[in-house]
Amino acid sequence: MFSSYIESILIFNGIHIIMALSLYLPFSAGQISLAQAGFMAIGAYASSVMTLFWGFPFYIALFLSGLLSAMTGVLVGFPAIRIKGIYLLLLTLAFGEMVRVFFLNFEFTGGASGMGGMDLQTNFVNVYTIVAILIIFFYRLSKSRMGRAFESMREDELAAEVMGINIVKAKLLAFGVGAFIAGLGGGLYAHYVMYIDSPKFGFLLAVEFFVFVVFGGMEIFWGPIIGTTLLTLIPEVVRFLKEWRMIFYGLVIVVLMIVRPQGLIDKKLVDDITRYAKKLF
């Protein structure tokens, strides 16, 4: 369909979209998380252990590693019930680093020398099928009771609780499902690059996902999708700028944050587009 160069950029883009959506889910409930790189690492390592050492079929391994990641997500969600704002940021950051250091020293998965030899299982079709499923999921969520609960929690947690929303359940769900999605992303990543080592899943990666979401906008799930796609493609398109391209990348983010602090895509924009589109047809 495309040249394999374009295809591989699109596959990385798809994996990044999955990761950005995994961050967006707790975000949409007002929970800021820098732990997504850690969940991704759990998914990547767990799925690789299952396919490589235990001979599980890829899709089963992918699903199970998502579940494992979700369980860890719920565990991280427990302290998050009482912790808010910048403290939560710190807690999730610390968790992400814990995961990284754990895999750095865990000999079973290769320790510092990493883990390789997985089969190539990830391709354009399965990555974007998962992206499509996630889009449907997030669309349905935004129209559902839980989605609206998330939204009210983001705006005002106390008011949401007074209105009768079960904050504990909602927070754990947001963290757990977010971690599940991140686990899927990790499994897909591991079976595309076919070699993983723990420095990859450090704090910088978590910040990268964070930037994707903030850049695209956190009001609606189209934000992280568009934001990720733009920020993944921009450095590739401006490759001719050589050493200056990362500066260009930074500049784009700075300008956007000044012009549109709410992110590129917000609810109003989506509503406007839908209205315009309805008028057209």
Partner 1 sequence: MKAQRFYRFVAVACIALLIAFASAIPAAEAGLKGKSVKVGVIVPLAGPAISWGQHSLLGAEIARDEINAAGGIGGIPLELIVEDTASKSDQAISLARKLAEQDKVLIILGPILSSACEMVFPVTNRMKIVAVSPTSAKPGVSAKNRPWAYRNNLTSDKTLGPALEKWVKDNNIKKAGIIYDSSDAVSTGEGAKVYPAFFKKFGVEIVDSLTVQKKDIDFSAHITRIKAKNPDGVALAAQAEQAANIVREMRRQGLNIPVITGVECANPLFIRTGKGDVEGVWTASASWAGNPDPKVKKFVTKFMKRKDGEKPNSGGFKSYDSIYIIKEIIEKYGVTNDPKDLSKDRDRLRNGWKNVKNFPGVSGLTTINEVGDGVSMPAILCVKSGQWVAAK
Structural tokens at position 49: 């252990």
Contacts of 155 (CB under 8 A, 6+ apart): 30
Residue 165 main-chain phi, psi, to 5 deg: -80, 135
| Stretch 220-239 residues interacting with partner 1 (CB under 8 A) | 236, 239
Smallest distance, partner 1 to C-beta of residue 197, A:
5
Burial group, residue 103, by CB count within 10 angstroms (0-12, 13-18, 19+) = buried
| Stretch 88-117 residues interacting with partner 1 (CB under 8 A) | 101, 104-105, 111-114, 116-117
Smallest distance, partner 1 to C-beta of residue 203, A:
13
| Among 247, 100, 71, 102, residue whose Cα is nearest residue 176 | 71
Under rule CB under 8 A, residue 240 binds partner 1: no
Count of residues interacting with partner 1 (CB under 8 A): 30
Smallest distance, partner 1 to C-beta of residue 183, A:
18
Structural tokens at position 154: 């983001």
Going by the DSSP 8-state scheme, the letter that residue 144 receives in this structure is S
Terminal-to-terminal C-alpha distance of the chain? 30
Among 120, 125, 258, 280, which residue interacts with partner 1 (rule: CB under 8 A)? 120
Under rule CB under 8 A, residue 9 binds partner 1: yes
Among 143, 145, 242, 279, which residue interacts with partner 1 (rule: CB under 8 A)? 242
Under rule CB under 8 A, residue 243 binds partner 1: yes
Residues composing the chain: 281
The C-alpha atoms of residue 143 and residue 124 are separated, in whole angstroms, by: 29
Place of tokens 């990666």: 205
Smallest distance, partner 1 to C-beta of residue 186, A:
13
Tell me the DSSP string of 204-256: HHHHHHHHHHHHH-SSSTHHHHHHHHHHHHHHHHTGGGGGGHHHHHHHHHHHH
Under rule CB under 8 A, residue 5 binds partner 1: yes
Radius of gyration of the chain from its Cα atoms, rounded to whole angstroms: 19
Among 200, 209, 213, 219, which residue interacts with partner 1 (rule: CB under 8 A)? 200
Between 42 and 76, whose beta carbon lies closer to partner 1?
42
Contacts of 81 (CB under 8 A, 6+ apart): 167, 168, 171, 172
Smallest distance, partner 1 to C-beta of residue 153, A:
35
The C-alpha atoms of residue 60 and residue 204 are separated, in whole angstroms, by: 30
Among 12, 56, 102, 124, which residue interacts with partner 1 (rule: CB under 8 A)? 12
Among 17, 40, 188, 193, which residue interacts with partner 1 (rule: CB under 8 A)? 193
Smallest distance, partner 1 to C-beta of residue 84, A:
30
String of contacts with partner 1 for each residue 161-190, x by CB under 8 A: ----------------------------x-
Residues that bind partner 1 (CB under 8 A): 3-5, 7-9, 12, 101, 104-105, 111-114, 116-117, 120, 189, 192-195, 197, 199-200, 236, 239, 242-243, 246
